[in-house]
Amino acid sequence: MPTAIATEAAPAPRAKDYKSGIKPVWCPGCGHFGALSAVTKALAYLQLRREEVAMISGIGCSSRLPAYIDSYGFHGVHGRALAVASGLKAARPDLTVLVAGGDGDGFSIGGNHFLHACRRNMDMTYIVMDNEVYGMTKGQASPTTAPEWDRSKLTPYGTGVPSFRPTEIALAAGASFIARGFSGDPSGLTKLLVEAIEHRGFSFVHVLSPCPTFRPEQKEWKQKVHPCRMDTTSNAAEAARLIQGDDGRATGLLYVEDLPVWQPRNEGQADMAKIEAEFRV
Amino acid sequence: MNDNAKIIETVPEFLAHAVALEDESAERYEMLADAMEVHHNDEVAELFRKLMQYSEDHAQEVQTLASDMTLPNIAPWDYNWNCPGSPENCDCFNDALDYQMTPYQALNLAIHNETRGRDFYAWVSRESPDPEVRRLAGEMASEEQEHVDLLQAMIANTDLSREAPLEDLDPPNTPDG
């Protein structure tokens, strides 16, 4: 169990207090270090106690995040982070539920869960660290990889398939909070994460997070990312125009709307004796 | 320096910046040391660990200076830096960052960071309207310059190879077929 902090007697937690002490196995220069830093800063800013937070993930480099955060955590099954997180939020609505993963885990294997998590609008934050590659399995094309990327032996002529556009899909599926950040700007990303966690409903934060090992050219993202040229909108039609017209490198809060939040009523639960009687072998 | 950076006007505001700068510097060096250790680059890991210690010591000095005052609680995105993240922590996609990084490359990265830190303090010491802020910032700029000099001396006085590391015959980034 994570240690309680931020009690009246204890000093306010700092970002480093949320680190577990487990050394990340990420490659030096990996963008995910910036995302980790932003998550801890956001938790410190919000003064959340460690035992009030649960970090859920699937499989992949970025999905190792729960091990590096000193809160409740669950490193789940590939693509199923949102399913596990939804179950947790349904049972424990008092917890701040954060979900972390990558583009392969979230948009390919977990693509279906992504759609329905958006439309269900449960109160949780989904952080996708997108490096447009499957890094943990040594560099295959992912759903967000550009169709002409031909550096993997599996796709020597590129995938030839248009890239998955996460923010557009999230909007179409009914997400109520859509933002894009850059792990090379941990301070800006922290602000987005704070807003996402404070948002009531499903908040999707698309994080551009370079992979220096399999996509070294992504170091150029530092020059390519730019603030979104329009103000945040709560109008879905305006957001659609904004998101469809952007180059995929615009950062900021793109869309936020106050939509009904789905949360099951935990009333009338059966007691354990009754359940056990039903399942007697 | 960032044209949009606001001038730091009070001692507590300045010390809050200094604490954050040194804390983030220590955090960054620790991350780098951990990453190098995980990738069995022990020599560079040890070097980053030493740099982390310098930053922690410096952070402790600043905290001692601030012990009798209440520092403002500044949101991470509201600091008056001139780059994403704090000055000694901003070059996260440096080309030299690699599991095979050499001590020579690591020292150069550290010089880059410390120079940014020095420039930040020097800017405050020039621009702040408060004489005490200017004095403190000037002192810290001098200390950062000492760090830069020390690192440059380490490069000059030790027999560090400036050549690229030997080819890794079993690299971790061989794409699977």
A14 sits in the region (left: phi over 0; alpha: psi -120 to 50; else beta) called beta
Residues B139-174 pLDDT 10s: 999 999 999 999 999 888 777 767 777 777 777 665
Instruction: Please give the angle made by the CA atoms of B71, B75 and B80, to the nearest 5 degrees.
Output: 80
State residue B172's pLDDT score: 66
A149, A187, A190: which to substitute to probe chain B, counting the most B Cβ within 10 Å?
A: A187
Residues A114-155 pLDDT 10s: 999 999 999 999 999 999 999 999 899 999 999 999 999 899
Domain span holding position B66: 37-157
Structural domain count, chain A: 1
SS3 A101: strand
In a domain, A255, yes or no: yes
Long-range contacts of the stretch B134-143 (C-beta < 8 A, 24+): B136/B11, B136/B14, B136/B15, B136/B65, B137/B8, B137/B14, B140/B18, B140/B62, B143/B58
Chain A residues with beta carbon closer than 8 angstroms to that of B47 = none
In a domain, B22, yes or no: no
ipTM (interface pTM): 0.90
Task: Name the phi and psi angles at A228, rounded to 5.
Answer: -60, 135
The CATH number for B143's domain is 1.20.1260.10
- Contact of B176 with chain A, judged by CB distance below 8 Å, is answered with yes
Name residue B102's amino acid. Answer: T
Of A36, A59, A68, A71, which is closest to residue A209 (Cα–Cα)? A36
Chain mean pLDDT for chain A: 93
Minimal CA separation from B132 to chain A, in Å: 27
Chain B residues with beta carbon closer than 8 angstroms to that of A181 = none
A4 DSSP β-pair partners: none
Structural domain count, chain B: 1
SS3 A126: strand
B108 DSSP β-pair partners: none
Domain span holding position A99: 30-278
A127 DSSP β-pair partners: A100, A205
State residue A10's pLDDT score: 63
- The Cα–Cα gap between A211 and B64 comes to 39
In a domain, B171, yes or no: no
The CATH number for A231's domain is 3.40.50.970
Q: How many CB atoms lie within 10 A of CB A264?
A: 11
In a domain, A76, yes or no: yes
Could you say which of B95, B99, B173 has the minimum Cβ distance to residue A214? B173
State residue B32's pLDDT score: 93
State residue B177's pLDDT score: 41
- Contact of A262 with chain B, judged by CB distance below 8 Å, is answered with no
- The Cα–Cα gap between A29 and B39 comes to 12
In a domain, A251, yes or no: yes
Confidence class of residue A6 from pLDDT cuts 50, 70 and 90?
A: very low
Chain B residues with beta carbon closer than 8 angstroms to that of A184 = 84, 92-93
**Tokens coding B116:** 């940014």
In a domain, B132, yes or no: yes
Residues A11-49 pLDDT 10s: 778 899 999 999 999 999 999 999 999 999 999 999 999
Residues B58-92 pLDDT 10s: 999 999 999 999 999 999 999 988 666 688 875 66
B92, B94, B109: which to substitute to probe chain A, counting the most A Cβ within 10 Å?
A: B92
State residue B91's pLDDT score: 62
